[in-house]
Amino acid sequence: MFNALITEKVGEREFQTGLGQREIEDLPAGELLIEVQYSSLNYKDALSANGNPGVTRNFPHTPGIDAVGIVKESANDSFSVGDGVIVTGYDLGMETDGGLAEFIRVPATWALPLPSGLSARDAMVLGTAGLTAGLCVNKLLQAGATASEGKVVVTGATGGVGSVAVALLAKLGFDVVASTSKTSQHDLLKTLGASEIIDRESLSEAQRKPVLKQQWQNAVDCVGGDTLVNLLKSLGHSGSVACCGLVGSADLPATVLPFILRDVNLLGVDSVEIPLAKKRHIWEKFSGDWKLECLDQLATEIELAQVPEYLDRIMKGENIGRTVVRVK
């Protein structure tokens, strides 16, 4: 028997998540049995625990799209018992029982060796949110973004993706504008490296004008909807937005005008289904020249039993930074 967070369906649209026990034999098939050391909380875990059918349809279920741990059994030549591994995304925590448990069993194709420059805990302080922030920054850099050409704005800046994006962009020398609703967290955002902080409402209202005053050269957007459209309208010529989230809306009520008048780019970012090699590249960056010294400042460490309370905060848009879950 091992401890696991379990979400159960208790009514037509009612779900309850709490600490329970599972049997190793009940885990899905897979080549790697992994003893989880740390997991982390992401927006998607909150959706899974609230029965969002776009994430999880079968209950009872153990959420947790992230895990880092030690291989206990391996049926794959690339991994040996005792190896440290990271697993994020693919189906983990969706229909496959997830990382908010003492054990997971997954296909070997989902697992990466833990890079030598990264502790297990720091890997989960970053987690899927950090990986996504890294992929956003990588996309901007590939599109030609440079620190010298103008400001970069990050929306949802106090959240998981946003806070890591602020810290990483600042580390790379960018002039970072953080967009947030949380006046209480301005000091944190400055500590992470933001040079300017704006109220997120200044970006959230639909604007009639086809393009707006050019305010920043690049952006990382976690919000979607009118916020994303306003970013597209207010980028400098040939600027880019890396779009990864939908906390505000999944809509994109845009026209083609910013694209054809200002040559701007809308860059899609997915951290879940991309090939493992692309994930590995970003994890290696985070253990090397992208190593963030401020991870402790954006991390809150909790135990499995505290997870339901913290998932509620995510659903209310109240999350700050990254929540790392000490599983063992």
Ligand X SMILES: NC(=O)c1ccc[n+]([C@@H]2O[C@H](COP(=O)([O-])OP(=O)(O)OC[C@H]3O[C@@H](n4cnc5c(N)ncnc54)[C@H](OP(=O)(O)O)[C@@H]3O)[C@@H](O)[C@H]2O)c1
Which residues bind to ligand X, rule: CB under 6 A?
A: 42-44, 128-129, 132, 156-162, 180-182, 200, 222-223, 244-248, 269-272, 314, 317, 319
Closest to ligand X by CB, 132 vs 265, is: 132
Handedness of CA 222, 224, 227, 229 (dihedral sign): positive
* Pairing relationship of beta strands 299-303 and 265-268 according to DSSP bridges: unpaired
Distance CA 194, CA 207 (A): 26
For residue 232, the one-letter residue type is: L
Which residue is listed with tokens 């079968």?
58
Closest to ligand X by CB, 262 vs 281, is: 281
End-to-end CA distance of the chain: 14
Q: Buried b vs exposed e over 163-189: b needs ≥16 C-beta within 10 Å?
A: bbbbbbbbbbebbbbbbbebeebeebb
Residue nearest ligand X, CB atom distance: 159
Instruction: Give me the least distance between CB of 131 and ligand X, in Å please.
Output: 8
Q: How far is CA 57 from the centre of its chain?
A: 22
Instruction: Give me the least distance between CB of 23 and ligand X, in Å please.
Output: 31
Closest to ligand X by CB, 69 vs 156, is: 156
Instruction: Give me the least distance between CB of 162 and ligand X, in Å please.
Output: 6
Closest to ligand X by CB, 230 vs 319, is: 319
Instruction: Give me the least distance between CB of 197 and ligand X, in Å please.
Output: 9
Instruction: Give me the least distance between CB of 94 and ligand X, in Å please.
Output: 12
Distance CA 14, CA 187 (A): 38
* Crossing angle (nearest 10°) for helices 160-171 and 120-142: 70
63: tokens are: 């959420």
27: tokens are: 């885990």
Q: Buried b vs exposed e over 281-307: b needs ≥16 C-beta within 10 Å?
A: ebbbbbbeebebebbeebbbbeebebb
Closest to ligand X by CB, 107 vs 317, is: 317
Instruction: Give me the least distance between CB of 270 and ligand X, in Å please.
Output: 5
Instruction: Give me the least distance between CB of 138 and ligand X, in Å please.
Output: 13
**DSSP letter assigned to residue 101:** B
Closest to ligand X by CB, 68 vs 157, is: 157
Closest to ligand X by CB, 88 vs 287, is: 88
Q: What separation in angstroms does the CA of 309 have from each of 70, 101, 156, 305?
A: 27, 16, 20, 9
Closest to ligand X by CB, 129 vs 231, is: 129
Instruction: Give me the least distance between CB of 36 and ligand X, in Å please.
Output: 19
